Amino acid sequence: MKEVRVRFAPSPTGPLHIGGIRTALFNYLYARKNNGTFILRIEDTDQTRYVPGAEDYILESLEWLNLSFDEGPVKGGPFAPYRQSERRLIYRQYAEKLIENDFAYYAFDTPEELENKRKEAEQQGHVFKYDQKTRLTLKNSLVLSVEETKKLIDNQVPYVVRIKTPENIVIHFHDIIRGEVSFHSSEIDDKVLLKADGLPTYHLANVVDDYLMKISHVIRGEEWLSSTPLHVLLYEFLGWKDEIPQFAHLPLILKPNGKGKLSKRDGDTGGFPVFPLQWKDPFTGEVSSGYRESGYLPEAVINMLALLGWNPGGDREIFSLQELTGIFDLDRVGKSGSKFDPEKAKWFNHHYIQIIDNHLLINILKNELLKRNLYYDEKKLDKIISLIKDRIHFTTEIFQHCWYFFSAPESYDEEFRAKRWKENTADIIRSLLDFLRNIESFTAENLGVEVKEFIQQKGYNMGEVMNPLRLCLIGSPSGIHLFDLMEVIGKEETIKRIEQGLINLS
């Protein structure tokens, strides 16, 4: 079997969508499963759409998700450089080779002339295409003489290089996911290969780099399926027919309702991220939420994305990145789009929070406490995290679920107070307070036994004691089991809060 070499080739034109992350993941998994090489290549030839900071965002996103690449920017490799803007001199020679062999041509049409052609076509009820039918009516080297063409080039008249799409042929290729695919050449226009600024378009740069970097499999989104026949032609025209990589076009990630491709707007309206990290637009200042900043763990994002379009077989849904590398197979990737389910993403994150080592969550909690200048006992943090973990869906929720371990309530839920603090409640809580002062073992287990005995002996019911006690200790009906809280904050703090509650609530 040919050595597996795959690439993830994003463009630094903005934040990386989770669809792009899934493409990176599937390339990574395929490489690792087959002892191959995973390459990161930055396709930045479209300088008009380049966004400052986007490349760093791509690198940071992959790092956060633990998708380490073997070759790429910063890291280097045998086929460096891995930014296409740094390889611009490479592409021209291949464009010229195509022209020499009559597979491409110079086109001198100005943007204004082409725009006029589009408007004329619209007025006649059809769409203008620069293709086999129209190219001989336009200003290019297929129409101009060799002398005229040379004169225009010598006079530095701007031009592009276009592929000369063959007439009346069918282009076939095999897709690992979709099987045999074919396009008629009439469906393909004469795409620009080399732009007027001397930089290649995606089509030429992608094919040349995939060949030079010995890419064995091109795993990318289905939006590139319609461009593949053009790429197949370029491989053939450049004499690389035997080196055409295997193609695998991944299905779309769909909106939650299944109607159309998932977009940033869907995230904005649905209240969920569609980007791995938070992104601040350098031009508008607009901030888009990211999975990391929204409190997701990278393990959860990876697991969730892996199951969008890929079916491992069976009912199992939880897979670590290491487990995925052992079982991933492109044959189990489906053709149909997969609906994104924000609730399922939340479910995955909740699961991983339950099984992750407490140390990570403790560090997050420490940062929150430091921001608020709250004192904490290092020895108690592990216990606190263990008590609240099952309530947490996002790491951003940690403090809100355990603030009462570190500070007494400053206010009291009015609705809860109206329901639970009755005329005789203060007397009941005072008697409980006197009882608690005499308890020596302030463990949750012993408190449970002792307080329940106290309630029985006094003839109270559980609700008329425990609800007001919760109001004194936490200030609201939410929170963990009170005896666990009392053990952690200790006898002195428990008594202090009850005393303050009696003053504030009576």
Among candidate residues 137, 125, 121, the one with its CA nearest the CA of residue 190: 137
The two most distant CA atoms of the chain are separated, in Å, by 111
* Residue 274 burial (10 A CB sphere; 0-12, 13-18, 19+): buried
Helices (H), 372-481: 381-388, 414-420, 425-437, 444-458, 462-473
DSSP assignment string, 309-368? SB--SSS-----HHHHHHH--GGGB-SS-EE--HHHHHHHHHHHHHHS-HHHHHHHHHHH
Q: Helix-strand-coil percent breakdown of the chain, rounded to 5?
A: 50, 10, 40
Q: What residues have CB less than 8 Å from 232, skipping those under 6 apart? A: 171, 173, 244
Identify whether 129 is a catalytic site residue: no
Q: What residues have CB less than 8 Å from 6, skipping those under 6 apart? A: 27, 30, 31, 36, 37, 38, 39, 215, 216, 217, 218, 219
Among candidate residues 332, 402, 390, 322, the one with its CA nearest the CA of residue 362: 402
Q: How is residue 473 written in tokens?
A: 């200790």
From CA 294, how far away is CA 396, in angstroms rounded?
Answer: 7
Q: What residues have CB less than 8 Å from 87, skipping those under 6 apart? A: 81, 205, 209
The verdict on whether omega for the bond into residue 81 sits within 30 degrees of 0, i.e. cis, is yes
What are the residues facing 163 on neighbouring strands? 104
Do residues 455 and 468 make contact, with C-beta atoms less than 8 angstroms apart? no
* Residue 129 burial (10 A CB sphere; 0-12, 13-18, 19+): middle
Do residues 494 and 473 make contact, with C-beta atoms less than 8 angstroms apart? yes
Among candidate residues 16, 29, 34, 37, the one with its CA nearest the CA of residue 66: 29
At residue 444, what are phi and psi to the nearest 5 degrees? -60, -40
Q: Give the active site residue among 33, 129, 214, 264.
A: 264
Known catalytic residues?
A: 264
